[in-house]
Amino acid sequence: MRATAMATIAVAAACSSTPRSAGPGPGGGPPTASDGVVAFATVQAVLQHPRCQNCHPAGDAPLQGDDSHVHLQYVKRGPLGRGEVGQECATCHGPANPPSNYGLHIPPGVAEGWRMPPPEEPLVFVGRTPRELCEQLKDPAHNGGKDLGGVRAHLDTPLVTWGWDPGFGRAPVATPRAEFIAAFERWVAAGAPCPE
C-alpha cells in the first residue's frame, strides 16, 4: 500500500515538473502529419529497393539484379501475373530459394508461388515520385482492393518477406524489416499523409 502511494506521488511529481513538449517526441504522443511524411520516406526507400521494385516494374517485364535490368528470356507478366504460356514464372521459380551451393544467378522462390501483380492492377514502384507512390499505395484500385490494414497484412506474406531473405548472392533490402514495419505503422497512425 505504502509503496503504491509513494509511486503515485513520484509519478505526480514527475508529471508536474516535466515541461509539456511542443510536439510528440520519440515514443510520446500520436504522430503528426509531418512525422508521417518522414516515416513514409523509409517506406519509399524499401518499395524502390531492387528486391521489391523488380516485381513492380512500369512495363510488363519483371526486372533482375541490383541494376534492375529487364528480365532475360523475354519473360512477361502474362494475363494473371504468372507469365505467358510456356514462360510461366513457376517453370523456373520454385517454392523456395535453392540451396546456396547451387551458386549464383539461380531463380529464387517462395512457397505461395512466384508472380508479379496482374495486368489490371500493375502496382508500379519503379520511377514513381514519393507522392505518386504514396497515393498509389492507398488506392484500392492499385493495391488489391485493400484498406491500409489489408496492405499492412500483406507485408507479412512470403513475397514481401522474401526481400530480406532473397537467396544466395543477392543483397537483402537495405532497411531492416522491423524498421520498415515500424515506419509503415507510424505513417498509417499519422493518417497516411503523402509528401508534396
Binding interface with ligand HEC (CB under 6 A)? 46-47, 50-52, 54-56, 62, 64-65, 71, 73, 75, 77-78, 81, 83, 87, 89, 91-93, 105, 107-108, 114-117, 123, 143-144, 146, 151, 154, 159-160, 162-163, 170, 173
The residue (of 29 and 112) whose beta carbon lies closer to ligand HEC is 112
Return the number of other C-beta atoms located less than 10 Å from residue 163's C-beta.
Answer: 21
Residues 6+ apart with CB under 8 A from 68: 50, 53, 54, 57, 126
Burial (CB < 10 A; 0-12, 13-18, 19+), residue 27, is: exposed
Shortest CB 34 distance to ligand HEC, Å: 23
d(CA 143, CA 164): 21
The residue (of 89 and 190) whose beta carbon lies closer to ligand HEC is 89
Nearest to 137 by CA among 122, 151, 118, 157: 151
The residue (of 29 and 145) whose beta carbon lies closer to ligand HEC is 145
The residue (of 39 and 46) whose beta carbon lies closer to ligand HEC is 46
